[in-house]
Structure 1
Amino acid sequence: MLAIAAAIVFGIALLLDLFDTDLGAHDLLNFQTLTLLGLLLIALYLAGIGSGPRTGTGSGRRFYGRRPGRG
């Protein structure tokens, strides 16, 4: 989820840079601020924060019925 948010932030930063605008907020929505926000979200995602819900316990592989490889 954080990676998607970072992609959105980077997209907005790219559009603001391409159109050379800051939407009237000179200190809040500039290219450097949005880039740092995007990098922060990517760093949090890579650290494992917000990577999605963990379901159950174990290895995560579930076999219903006959397990593969068991004659």
Structure 2
Amino acid sequence: MLGIAAAVLFFIAFLINAADITTNDVFSSVNVMLIGLGLLALHVAGIGHGRRTGRR
């Protein structure tokens, strides 16, 4: 789930950058991209996955 959220944030950051939309400092394309990278790192670390595949 976090990987999908990261992909959506990367797409939003791309649109902000490609369309040259002026936003405030909080929602700049770099900040949105960094939030996406953080979510992607959590996804790769195994946090936020759907089902647990451990032994009982």
Band of TM-score, shorter chain: 0.7 to 0.9
SS of the residue 2:27 aligns to: coil
What is the aligned-residue identity percentage? 46
- Over 3 Å counting, the alpha-carbon distance change for 1:45 and 1:56 in structure 2 is closer
Structure 1 stretches lacking a partner, 5+ long: 59-71
* Superposition pairs of residues 53-64 of structure 1, within 5 angstroms: 53-54=51-52, 57=55
- Over 3 Å counting, the alpha-carbon distance change for 1:35 and 1:51 in structure 2 is same
Q: TM-score, normalization: structure 2? A: 0.86
Q: TM-score, normalization: structure 1? A: 0.69
Residue 10 (structure 1) shift: 0.2
Structure 2 stretches lacking a partner, 5+ long: none
Q: Report the structure number with the largest CA radius of gyration.
A: 1
Q: CA RMSD in A?
A: 1.7
Runs of 4+ in 1 over 4 A off after TM superposition: none
Higher helix share: 2
Which residue number in structure 1 is paired with residue 9 of structure 2?
9
